[in-house]
Structure 1
């Protein structure tokens, strides 16, 4: 009897292992037909040396020699990104003194512009007078190739929404202030439902939670929402069940961690797509804006990958992806 029990337990365990393997392996699934979704971080902007970066590093002072004339988070840079093949453009927003949202990356104005302080200390019209190309240099301050060329280029969120009425946008709330989430929710609530369906917002836990309370159907993401989705998925995803927290959201997944997700890549992506969730693969954890920016970076993508790709160089990556998927 004891031997029989051991045999049954063996076959149950073996059957479970076989189930888990076949239920999560991508080897026996047909490659997805769609192409990867390309997300252009800050539009098309100047890249910079990431060696030794800290939160206080002024990245405008260490840009690579310019290969194009665009400055991040501007209307020309976003137009160039979409023209190059971006499916979605990411942009950063900050509140202004007069209750609007300026599109600008840094917390302070000191690094890139000819002003000091933070955007919320200025009205939008005052910010429009600044030169956002003032601080860029590729040679340690010997020359400033964009100085004088960035006056008036800091857009408002309203201008971005008007300029790209049908395109996919990813809005980044840079603070952890819940009032900022409420303010953004009021602005976005005025948009038609079909326009809201092409907008995603991510950022600090508190503003995103505040925004979700006002606009529960808007696609959002925060560190808290990532944990609520991925931790339960790691526990039960082997069954094929997708937790409710993973539905209608966006996931930014580091390329080194993605292989640990049940069903990665094709089954995982299919499950998330069915749940109305986008999966964006970021390079090396995405720290300090790391993206898939070179041909070598693309070697880290799974074969026949059809999820999202985060890039700072849409002008380089889109043609490479196009050739790979032809």
Structure 2
């Protein structure tokens, strides 16, 4: 019997890798929007969702400032709507995670746990992850009273006292959400003024369950099997104290998820991908959108707009080549 070994080898390679025109890393608002626009351009984009479809927005209980939803919309629900709309035009979502990225030559190589993608263009929309306080007890008690997602864990603190650390929009939004369950929400901020928007500040200040502690940082999380108390320090006087609490929710900013691209595209000192107005990175054919390159606005609508711009730019790039 005559075996065609070269044919078998070719078949094996085709199973291990896939060539695509547009590969999108991340499935938050930026990635979803990029998928929609690339799909409408008939580029059959593939989206690697990572571990969370919808990105950080999917963890928000209600999004009240996305146009078209006057009564607000759940973050998870909005992500599902984004996905359905993109799939309607031919986008494909793969529930897989990139493990390595090579942007040194085209086609660009992106390896996942299950296969390798060879892409003519890549759109980076991997977002950002919440920062940690880096204090004693934080890691040990994560999931035992320490949390970074009120919408995920708020239900577990019904009729209990909780602390929120942070002074921006996310801290106040999540603090307000926690009042649905907790008997008392203490918001601790290291400065003497909040950074959140005026409407959120007014809502929080008018909520009878919320109180504020300013000029203060959390220095330790204490407890045996769960969070029992926090160590506090006033940054102006140096005075130290403790506060009994059942939970600690941390919202002190984010770090961009750009580790896979380090040294391959230009980045800021903080690790955000540098792009021009058309979402182009320093590597031709590679684009970035959303919180991976936006440390300023961090809104669903701005991320979605950036994703659309990135897909349009990628489309024009590929058309110019043809």
TM-score, with structure 2 as normaliser: 0.29
Which has a greater percent of strand?
2
TM-score, with structure 1 as normaliser: 0.28
